[in-house]
Structure 1
Amino acid sequence: MSSYYDDQEFTGINYTQQPFKKGEYDNCTFMECNFENLHLSNSTFLECTFINCNLTNVKFGGTSLNQVLFDGCKLLGADFSVCNIFMLGLRFRESVLNLSNFTALPLKKTTFLHCPMAEVDFTNADLSEAVFTECLLTGSTFEQTRLLKADFTTAIDYKIDPTKNMLKGAIFSKNNLSGLLQSTGIIIK
């Protein structure tokens, strides 16, 4: 039987040392909790906030994340591609997302604010109208990705091939155009 939690705050819990109760969490806050290598599979998080939590290598198989904010979290190697896509809604602020996977996810209007995102996989994702504010995208993969009206104005170190992605209306800074032209062999000085 699943547990139900509503409007609760969970602070400083190390779930690697005590069990995490799978269930439905509605409008809950997790602050400074450790979920490293934990299976959050088949749990539901609705309008929840994770603040300064360690979610390194967390397993999200079948997990529902609806209007969830990750603020100051460590999400190294998190595989979001196996989340339940029904009503998926994510926001990230000052969270480390290196080596994470967002393959084939509907991420329209997702915001990434001040997030290091090295080696992140966005293959086949829909990032229409997403905003990447001061995000470091070194080695991240954009292939067959919908980036319609996405905002990369302040994003850094991205490489996006315009022939392999949908970019209509996407916004880029003229100072970072090399990330769009690298695949063409054009040299910019």
Structure 2
Amino acid sequence: MSNFFDDQDFESIDFTLQSFKKGEYDNCTFTDCNFENLHVSNTSFLECTFIDCNLTNVKFGGTTLNQVIFDSCKLLGADFSVCQPFMLDIRFRESILQLANFTQLPLKGTSFTSCQVTEVDFTSADLSQATFTGSTLSKTIFDNTNLTKADFIGAIDFTIDTTNNNMKGAIFSKDNLEGLVTHLQLNLK
């Protein structure tokens, strides 16, 4: 990678109209930027923050995301499964993740705080010690997923089959247990 950006702020840039330079971004902040349908493949983002950005259908092939925060971002159709798994460390806050893909990724300790996580695929991902505090998990897929000690306090609208996911020590509110027994076809009253 020839381009190196350190401690820079990128604000209100539409990268669909202006060229995005691939390279290494260290400790950079992107605010109100548009990355829709953009290829950021083989780019490194280290200790970066994305605020109010549109990352709809962004292409992450081979991208490094280490200590990256997505705050109030739109990530529709984002395929994180093709990111570099080594040192992958991402956090989401008040973001919209719809039709996103996290299959087979090491996401231990990842936080999804007050997010809309809709039709997201976590098949075979390691979400041990992850937090979903205050998030809506409508139609999200947990299949052969490691949810050991994951925190679902305040999470709603989820369905998790307890027979094909590792859930040892996972934390749930007493009032949100319905999503754990849906596969049993019980009548809860």
- Percent identity between matched residues is 65
Aligned counterparts of 1:102 and 1:89: Cα–Cα separation in 2:
13
Matched, 1:62 2:62: yes
Aligned counterparts of 1:11 and 1:70: Cα–Cα separation in 2:
15
Aligned counterparts of 1:22 and 1:57: Cα–Cα separation in 2:
17
Residue 95 of structure 1, CA deviation: 0.6
C-alpha distance after superposition, 1:43-63 (max 9, x if no partner): 000000000000000000000
C-alpha distance after superposition, 1:64-88 (max 9, x if no partner): 0000000010101100000001100
- Tell me how many residue pairs correspond in the alignment: 189
Match for residue 33 of structure 1? Answer: 33
The one-letter code matched in structure 2 to 1:117 is: V
Matched, 1:173 2:173: yes
Match for residue 127 of structure 1? Answer: 127
Match for residue 44 of structure 1? Answer: 44
Match for residue 85 of structure 1? Answer: 85
Residue 185 of structure 1, CA deviation: 1.6
Aligned counterparts of 1:17 and 1:2: Cα–Cα separation in 2:
22
Aligned counterparts of 1:150 and 1:187: Cα–Cα separation in 2:
26
Match for residue 163 of structure 1? Answer: 163
For 2:175, what is the secondary structure of its paired residue? helix
Match for residue 111 of structure 1? Answer: 111
TM-score (norm 1): 0.99
Unaligned runs of 5+ in 1: none
Residue 2 of structure 1, CA deviation: 2.1
C-alpha distance after superposition, 1:2-57 (max 9, x if no partner): 20000000001100001100000000000100000000000000000000000000
Aligned counterparts of 1:160 and 1:130: Cα–Cα separation in 2:
15
For 1:131, what is the secondary structure of its paired residue? coil
TM-score (norm 2): 0.99
The one-letter code matched in structure 2 to 1:172 is: F
Match for residue 146 of structure 2? Answer: 146
Unaligned runs of 5+ in 2: none
